[in-house]
Amino acid sequence: MRNPDRIVIVDSNPDLSAGFHAELEAQPDLTVAAVVTCASCSFAAVSKHRPDLVLISLSLPGHRVLELVKDLLVLHAGLKFLIVASNDAELDASCVLRAGAQGCVLRSSSSATKLEAMRQVLAGQHSFMPQPAPRQHGTTGLPPLHWVNATIPL
């Protein structure tokens, strides 16, 4: 049997993710290596625990999260990221992909949806749940995203 994939959760409000944390711990193929509440703590947690995936809240105060993803990737090439957005207005697939994250999921999504998104990202796929609405204020040059298993040409 292979070791479970290690997850670091970066969220400024751990109370909001406590239920999901318990759900994650119940999964035989996933384990929570650390939960941190600030951007600076994420550097230490990722360095110490060497996770397979970082689940990171887009509403993390005091740091631009997509810049944090880029910074962590410089230090830990190949690390996978799934962004947690508070609402679908925050879902901008092109920005998430340019930062180096592999997907985005809504905080209000069910645990099953979040787990599916995590497993897709861990499997090397892009995952945007739900599909972001097309932006009206400009084009990204990217094709429309599919709800599950989005494939984006880079």
Give the gyration radius of the chain's Cα atoms: 14
Ranges of each domain in the chain: 5-129
Q: What is the pLDDT of residue 65?
A: 85
Superfamily of 5-129 according to CATH: Response regulator (3.40.50.2300)
Mean pLDDT score across all residues of the chain: 81
Q: Is the pLDDT of residue 132 over 70?
A: no
**Mean pLDDT throughout 40-62?**
90
**Mean pLDDT throughout 138-153?**
43
- 97: exposed, middle or buried (C-beta count within 10 Å: 0-12, 13-18, 19+)? buried
Q: What is the pLDDT of residue 31?
A: 94
**Mean pLDDT throughout 19-46?**
90
Q: What is the pLDDT of residue 122?
A: 97
Question: In this predicted model, which residue has the larger pLDDT, 31 or 141?
Answer: 31
What is the residue type of 65?
A: V
Q: Is the pLDDT of residue 133 over 80?
A: no
pTM of the model: 0.80
Cα–Cα distance, 122 to 102 (Å, whole number): 9
